[in-house]
Chains A and B, each alone.
Chain A
Amino acid sequence: MKKLLTGNEAIARGAWEAGVVVCTAYPGTPSTEITENAAKYDEMYAEWSPNEKVALEVGLGASIAGGRALVSMKHVGVNVAADPLFTLSYTGVNAGLVLVSADDPGMHSSQNEQDNRHFGRAAKIPVLEPADSQEAKDFTKLAFDISEMFDTPVMLRTTTRVAHSQSLVELADREEKETKEYQKNPSKYVMIPANARHRHVVVEDRLIKLKDYAESTDLNRVEWNDTKMGVITSGVTYQYVKEALPEVSILKLGMTFPLPRKMIIDFADKVDQLYIVEELEPFIEEYVTSWGLDVHGKDTFPLIGELLPETIASKMVQTFGDCSPRETTEPNQLQYEVPPRPPVLCPGCPHRGLFYVLNKLKVTVAGDIGCYTLGCLAPLKAIDTTICMGASIGTAIGMEKAKGKDFARNLVAVIGDSTFIHSGITALVDVVYNKATTTTIILDNRITAMTGHQHNPTTGFTVKGEPTKEIDLILLAKAVGVERVQVVDPFELDELEKIVREELAAEEPSVIITQRNCALIDKSRNSPYIVSAAACTGCLRCLKLGCPCIAKEGKKVRINLAQCVGCGLCATVCPSEAIRKEGGAND
């Protein structure tokens, strides 16, 4: 039976069919749904790990002990997991271990658009790239076989368009596997220098064997057509080439590290003109040109952003002329201006109150990754920096050390509950240890909201929905040595402002925990608020909240009743008491 699945659902299914017993991850677009779906299978243990490094470490533990393990993360997550990854390449595995790196060309929801095939090459592990959901499932299963065949972790690299696109997938049954026998083997698994030196030799030897494998595996295949032009491509880009240029010959690479050198040279020999079409980096191209072949790649196609079928066709026509692209329609550009629609904090979002206060106090804010990053946008404009998961607190420490304590009196770090657990804790330890006075605000909305409401160690539930011990952020902050810890409801604006002022003034480390449920999980929906036109003076202070429900109408404001969740923050900031609970319609 064929089922319509996203690439992420297909990877979870592939892991299940491959007899995987442990699935770990930290949520991150576009990888999140792999683990959400893996958690639905009873035969597999699944967890949200505190961060990607831990996720990989749990996976490698399972693998060394003898159970197949799938570890998933977004591209930037691999940066966090890189430390164990590079050494894991040396130890190899026992049962299969597959690391999914979900890259995000075009940065639909990311802070950069790195190409993680480079990580595969740098760690010297094989990289597989599926082109649709069927391949996502098939390659996942094959990746486990390759992992065991060559005693190596394997990277399965997807991109947003593979991860989040749905296509038809033929399902199969689970291959139940006995977990492999565990044998103590320190020379393989204890990477003291003496052992690691031997293992590096093994890694290089393995790479030679993998190169041979790349020449013969079905993962790489040629689709012969007109030989005037040959295209080498991988991943979803293969589908774009098929669509844009139905008459060219294609070398489709399912394995992009190591590359099948003989196969590529042979393909190049048989076509008049060779093109490499790949998203982001010239990864394949650099190898191919180093072998002395004459190719067109990044001289023709963009290095930045997603590739599109129409871009491929038009660039090809420009440089080659006769490549018989499929007929396309010329899009007609609109002559009208359409205002942009940037994402915003939701109606009732608990972060709104905090950012309103920080904006009002004109505080310098070192920000972090999560929904609350949207606090950087107008009208709140309350965030100065956003670098990576967990960077806010360290950034604030650096600012203070460079500019002094006076600067720190007007400086805070903001970080979400999940992000704080991910990699904020260590920087908070640094605040205390290295005598900074930084005020850290933990925006505790009781869930990992940005990626779609995943549990984390502060929520009291696992990915399977089982109750578990809940981390107490107050005790945790005190345990690392912060003596000033205050908890406040971010919608109690006066109280919040008072506390922020107190902690900014205090010349010692402090933590403020702003605590209120994410508006999207808060079931206690109140009746909406309305504006009394008679009482509204048109001061527009409520618009500074950036609430999508409040709009300007003439000189006054109006609340969209269908969207308003009744948080009442607007009533709190209204100086003329013109906003009140609904009794009738807007008057």
Chain B
Amino acid sequence: MTDITNILIVGVGGQGTILASRVLAGAVQMTGQDVKVSEIHGMAQRGGSVVTQVRYGKEVASPIIPEGEADIILAFEKLEALRWLPYLKKDGSILINDQRIDPMPVVVGTAQYPSDVLDIIKKERKEVFIINGLGKAVEAGNGKAVNVVLLGLLARYLKIDKQTWLDVIRETVPSKLLEVNLKAFEAGWNSFDR
């Protein structure tokens, strides 16, 4: 089972991590591989830290990723990128939306939001991609499409055929939001720059 790819999608409740993980899993399924997704919701919907896990390969047993074994982390928010960093392999890649959302303890002043989140991550891992997801989503026509911008970035990174992604997005996203989401995906896809 060493041929399993492990992807962690992390963010803040309400950012659309679950939809992103579903599109990713759908695209993987179309490539004919076994895939498992694990998501936790409930309390986490209300602005808490959320994580979904996608695993794929020839055969996948456990739906959850052991700590230290994620190949890729797709982070919707900077602090969450840092929080989940121990899950990332030493030589893993992390794709980060350069957005800051203050957790309540920071808002009320009982905790500090580290000012150098991205620097810390860059020091810890070599492959770090940073993108202004929110800006690109707004450009595409809706700030809420930030999840699809990030998905576009991940898609380019994973080297799964682009048409496969577009097909899954068409199936997953409500038709009235489709155009914005396709634009958002394109923006993410084009921001990949190694």
A residues contacting B by CB (< 8 A) are: 2, 4, 29-30, 108-109, 132, 160-161, 164-168, 236, 239-240, 242-244, 246, 308-310, 326-334, 336-346, 371, 374, 377-379, 450-452, 543, 546-548, 550-552, 560, 562-563
Whether A166 pairs with B90 at a CB distance below 8 angstroms is no
B191 at the interface (CB under 8 A from A): no
Q: How far is the CA of A243 from the CA of B102 in the complex (A)?
A: 37
Q: Please, could you name 15 A-B residue pairs with CB atoms under 8 Å apart, sorted by A?
A: A29-B43, A166-B63, A236-B62, A332-B68, A332-B124, A337-B114, A340-B103, A340-B111, A341-B103, A344-B46, A344-B104, A377-B104, A378-B110, A379-B108, A551-B107
Whether A167 pairs with B41 at a CB distance below 8 angstroms is no
In the complex, residue of chain B having the shortest beta-carbon distance to the beta carbon of A540: B109
Chain A proximity of B143: nearest CB distance (Å): 6
In the complex, residue of chain A having the shortest beta-carbon distance to the beta carbon of B116: A336
Residues 98-128 of B at the A interface (beta carbon under 8 Å): 101-114, 120, 124
Q: How far is the CA of A236 from the CA of B29 in the complex (A)?
A: 21
B51-89 toward A: CB 8 Å interface, digit per residue (1/0)?
A: 000000000111110111100000000011011011101
Chain A proximity of B19: nearest CB distance (Å): 13
A132, A309, A337, A452: the one contacting B45 at CB < 8 Å is A452
B35, B47, B64: the one contacting A346 at CB < 8 Å is B47
Known: A165-B36, A168-B29, A551-B102. A342 touches B62 (CB 8 A): no
Chain A residues with CB under 8 Å of B143's CB are: 562
B25 at the interface (CB under 8 A from A): yes
A246, A329, A374: the one contacting B90 at CB < 8 Å is A329
Chain A proximity of B150: nearest CB distance (Å): 16
Whether B40 pairs with A160 at a CB distance below 8 angstroms is yes
B79, B90, B134: the one contacting A338 at CB < 8 Å is B79
B44 at the interface (CB under 8 A from A): yes
Whether A343 pairs with B64 at a CB distance below 8 angstroms is no
Interface of A is mostly: loop
Chain A residues with CB under 8 Å of B14's CB are: 346
B2, B40, B85, B107: the one contacting A550 at CB < 8 Å is B107
B35, B104, B124: the one contacting A168 at CB < 8 Å is B35
Q: How far is the CA of A161 from the CA of B65 in the complex (A)?
A: 12
Whether B40 pairs with A108 at a CB distance below 8 angstroms is yes
Known: A168-B34, A548-B107. A29 touches B41 (CB 8 A): yes
In the complex, residue of chain A having the shortest beta-carbon distance to the beta carbon of B87: A331
Chain A residues with CB under 8 Å of B1's CB are: 243, 246, 326
Whether A164 pairs with B86 at a CB distance below 8 angstroms is no
With an 8 Å Cβ cutoff, the count of chain B residues facing the other chain is: 61
- A327, A329, A343 — most chain B CB neighbours (10 Å): A343
Whether B86 pairs with A4 at a CB distance below 8 angstroms is no
Q: How far is the CA of A330 from the CA of B37 in the complex (A)?
A: 23
Chain B residues with CB under 8 Å of A374's CB are: 46
B174 at the interface (CB under 8 A from A): no
Chain A proximity of B140: nearest CB distance (Å): 15
Q: How far is the CA of A563 from the CA of B42 in the complex (A)?
A: 21
Whether A108 pairs with B42 at a CB distance below 8 angstroms is yes
Known: A4-B26, A4-B29. A339 touches B79 (CB 8 A): yes
A29, A244, A328, A344: the one contacting B42 at CB < 8 Å is A29
Chain A proximity of B85: nearest CB distance (Å): 6
- B2, B44, B108 — most chain A CB neighbours (10 Å): B108
Whether A548 pairs with B47 at a CB distance below 8 angstroms is yes
B48 at the interface (CB under 8 A from A): yes
In the complex, residue of chain B having the shortest beta-carbon distance to the beta carbon of A562: B143
In the complex, residue of chain A having the shortest beta-carbon distance to the beta carbon of B134: A562
**A4-B25, A4-B29, A346-B14 are known contacts; what are 18 more A-B pairs with Cβ within 8 Å?**
A4-B35, A4-B37, A29-B41, A109-B42, A160-B40, A167-B36, A168-B34, A239-B61, A332-B68, A334-B124, A336-B120, A341-B47, A341-B49, A341-B79, A346-B47, A450-B43, A548-B104, A551-B106
Chain B residues with CB under 8 Å of A379's CB are: 104, 108
B126-140 toward A: CB 8 Å interface, digit per residue (1/0)?
A: 000000001000000
B residues contacting A by CB (< 8 A) are: 1-2, 12-14, 22, 25-26, 29, 34-49, 60-64, 66-69, 79-80, 82-83, 85-87, 89-90, 101-114, 120, 124, 134, 143
Whether A546 pairs with B79 at a CB distance below 8 angstroms is no
Whether A378 pairs with B63 at a CB distance below 8 angstroms is no
Chain A proximity of B23: nearest CB distance (Å): 11
Chain A residues with CB under 8 Å of B86's CB are: 331-334
Whether B61 pairs with A339 at a CB distance below 8 angstroms is no
Known: A341-B12, A341-B80, A548-B47. A161 touches B114 (CB 8 A): no
A164, A327, A329: the one contacting B41 at CB < 8 Å is A164
Chain A proximity of B44: nearest CB distance (Å): 6
Chain A residues with CB under 8 Å of B39's CB are: 164-166
Chain B residues with CB under 8 Å of A450's CB are: 42-43
Chain B residues with CB under 8 Å of A378's CB are: 104-105, 108, 110
Q: How far is the CA of A240 from the CA of B26 in the complex (A)?
A: 23
Q: How far is the CA of A244 from the CA of B38 in the complex (A)?
A: 18
In the complex, residue of chain B having the shortest beta-carbon distance to the beta carbon of A104: B42
Chain A residues with CB under 8 Å of B120's CB are: 336
Q: How far is the CA of A145 from the CA of B127 in the complex (A)?
A: 53
Chain A proximity of B31: nearest CB distance (Å): 13
Chain A proximity of B116: nearest CB distance (Å): 9
Chain A proximity of B8: nearest CB distance (Å): 13
Chain A proximity of B126: nearest CB distance (Å): 14
Chain B proximity of A284: nearest CB distance (Å): 20
Whether A343 pairs with B13 at a CB distance below 8 angstroms is yes
Known: A337-B114, A343-B43, A343-B48. A329 touches B89 (CB 8 A): yes
Chain A residues with CB under 8 Å of B45's CB are: 343, 452
Chain A proximity of B160: nearest CB distance (Å): 15
Chain B residues with CB under 8 Å of A332's CB are: 68, 86, 90, 124
Chain A proximity of B135: nearest CB distance (Å): 11
Whether B105 pairs with A342 at a CB distance below 8 angstroms is yes
Whether B79 pairs with A239 at a CB distance below 8 angstroms is no
A243, A338, A340: the one contacting B61 at CB < 8 Å is A243
Chain B residues with CB under 8 Å of A242's CB are: 61-62
Q: How far is the CA of A54 from the CA of B74 in the complex (A)?
A: 43
Known: A333-B86, A336-B114, A345-B46. A548 touches B102 (CB 8 A): yes
What are the 6 closest A-B residue pairs judged by CB atoms, nearest first? A109-B42, A331-B68, A29-B42, A343-B48, A339-B111, A341-B103
Q: How far is the CA of A563 from the CA of B35 in the complex (A)?
A: 34
